[in-house]
Amino acid sequence: MTGATGYVGGRLVPRLLEAGYRVTCIVRDPGKLESRPWSGDKRVLVLRGDAADPESLTRAMQGCRYAYYLIHSMLVAGTAYRDQDRALAQAFATAAERSGIEGIVYLGGLGETGGGLSEHLASRREVEEALSSTSVPVTVLRAAMIIGSGSASFEILRYLVERLPAMITPRWVSTRAQPIAIRDALHYLVACLEHEETTGRTLDIGGPEVLSYKELMHQAAEVIGLRRRLILPVPVLTPELSSLWIHFVTPVHRDIARPLAMGLRNQVVCRNDDARRLMPHALLSPRQAMEAALGRMQLGQVETSWSDAGAIPGDPDWAGKTVFEDRRELQVDATREQVFGAISRIGGSQGWYAANLLWKLRGMLDRLVGGPGLSRGRRSSKRLAYGDALDFWRVTALQENRRLQLRAEMKLPGDAVLEFEVLDGSTANRTTLRQTARFAPRGLAGLLYWYGVLPLHNLVFGGMIRSLALSAKQEPLNGVQHA
């Protein structure tokens, strides 16, 4: 299994375990899977590997019968993602052949064939060709928009509908699509292993209804409980402008939004019902899929999110650099669990405990210059895990009731880390809360940035640690549950 840290792969592994399979996950950073409930299953083997290295892939695939290819590198700058995707797929196919894999399964993109494909869908076709370049049979499942809690496509749809009562949209809003619920896509991904007649075939998978994106938006508004949205298509909005608009209105970054927006001009409808015939299954309608997704979100049970994937940079190399530090400590009349529970609720809808208006302003400025801003929020209001996105931060260290480290992913002229430590206090009934912000500037711009925001530190960081201490005293003794 490649892509186990991603949106689909993270949900597919437990379904394969339920079906009785043993699973080997090849990941760049095994730590990202430690928080998954299934990672401790004795039938799961997690190996560190590089998808670009056929030798390491070949070693990892030894003893496996099937291999899932769930890698897609849209975040590479410009059109380079097509070249990288093609090279990665070729390396994967080569390794599969060398290791004796019986079959490859690939989740590709549904869309019209022939010329006129968007760059995004054309890249998916190139990956199919690369995977099929060896003697190993490849089963390709082509899907359109996947509706599920935390999926990028559904997040775009939901945020546009929630935030814009009236929309001026590109003409692609009238394009017909056949979305599929994530649970139905997972069914097909597992079932194809059990049905030999699917081996080596390309199968279109979709839900039971074909709708335009405009109709999907209207349905989403109804499911969310909003009034019907006013949607006005115009011919002048390009994919580039559409991706920028998506970037500002939704949590999805413009680098992801652009290839998705370009693909929206292509009709994505199943050409036949072979998948339904060969792998019978009761499919959810788009409305049912949206209701299920929103229900999971309201319960705080988002299993995986589009923001899960991607490399996690380690701590900056502070050695030999100018490093500015803002360190504060407080003695708190609360237990370690209570203090860490308060820390663990930071960000998202909870906010940052102090100067929330300034945090929101910083998030808006970050979005304007191409950063993630605060709109990503957090996957769960009750759980934190290594690798989680947290507004414009990323969890890069997590030790239960001891330490939380966040690394900045906002646009900055330097490297920034925010760390919280929970230590023994001066007496048995007290706990020491230590809060440290570090910044390694890059060039003159970094120096100007640090000194420019320095006057606000007492308001932001001082207010934060004081509010955390007060909140910890009110925290339930059992604290917050962590993944």
Please give the pLDDT value at position 114.
53
Give pLDDT, residue 320. Answer: 53
Q: What is the pLDDT of residues 219-234, one digit of tens each?
A: 999 999 988 889 888 7
Q: What is the rounded CA–CA span in Å between residue 102 and residue 313?
A: 35
Separation between Cα atoms, residue 134 and residue 96, nearest integer Å: 9
Q: Is 67 helix (H, G, I), strand (E, B) or coil?
A: strand
DSSP state of 171: G
Taking the C-alpha atoms of residue 405 and residue 346, their distance in angstroms, rounded to an integer, is: 12
> What is the predicted pLDDT for the residue at 162?
86
What are the residue ranges of CATH 3.40.50.720 in the chain?
9-307
Q: Using CA atoms, how far apart are residues 166 and 448, in angstroms rounded to an integer?
A: 41
Confidence category of residue 323, pLDDT binned at 50, 70, 90: confident
Whole-angstrom distance, CA of residue 267 vs CA of residue 173: 11
Backbone torsions φ then ψ of 137, nearest 5 degrees: -65, 140
Q: Give the CATH fold of the 9-307 domain.
A: Rossmann fold (3.40.50)
- pLDDT per residue over 45-79, tens digit each? 999 888 888 888 999 999 999 999 998 765 544 45
Q: How far apart are CA 354 and CA 260, in angstroms?
A: 36
Determine the Cα–Cα distance for residues 162 and 228; give it in Å rounded to an integer. Answer: 11
Question: pLDDT tens digits for 289-301?
Answer: 999 999 888 887 8
Higher pLDDT, 421 or 248: 421
Mean predicted confidence (pLDDT) in 152-157: 85
Q: What is the pLDDT of residue 113?
A: 53
Burial of residue 205 (CB within 10 Å: 0-12, 13-18, 19+) is buried
The predicted pLDDT at position 439 comes to 93
Q: 110-124, 229-243, 372-386 — which is least confidently predicted? A: 110-124
At 182, the pLDDT band (50, 70, 90 cuts) reads very high
Per-residue pLDDT band for 321 (boundaries 50, 70, 90) equals: low
In which residue ranges of the chain is CATH 3.30.530.20 found? 324-474
Question: How confident is the model at residue 242, as a pLDDT?
Answer: 74
pLDDT tops 90 at residue 456: yes
Long-range contacts of 209-212 (CB under 8 A, 24+ apart): 209/178, 209/285, 209/286, 210/176, 210/177, 210/178, 210/269, 211/176, 211/177, 211/178, 211/179, 211/286, 212/173, 212/174, 212/175, 212/176, 212/177
Q: Quick one: pLDDT at residue 101?
A: 95
Whole-number pLDDT of residue 76: 44
Region 271-295: what's the mean pLDDT?
A: 94
**Which of 234-238, 387-391, 441-445, 479-483 is predicted with the least confidence, judged by mean pLDDT?**
479-483
3-state secondary structure of 46: strand
pTM score of the predicted model: 0.75
Give Cα separations from 398 to 343, 360, 431, 467, 480 (angstroms).
11, 25, 18, 21, 13
Tell me the β-bridge partners of 366.
Answer: none
Q: What would the DSSP string read from start to end of 76-132?
A: SSTTHHHHHHHHHHHHHHHHHHHHT-SEEEEEEE----STT--HHHHHHHHHHHHHT
Assigned architecture for domain 324-474: 2-Layer Sandwich (3.30)
* Packed helices 119-131 and 254-263: angle between N→C axes, nearest 10 degrees: 90
Across 133-148, average pLDDT: 94
Task: Say whether pLDDT at 236 is over 70.
Answer: no
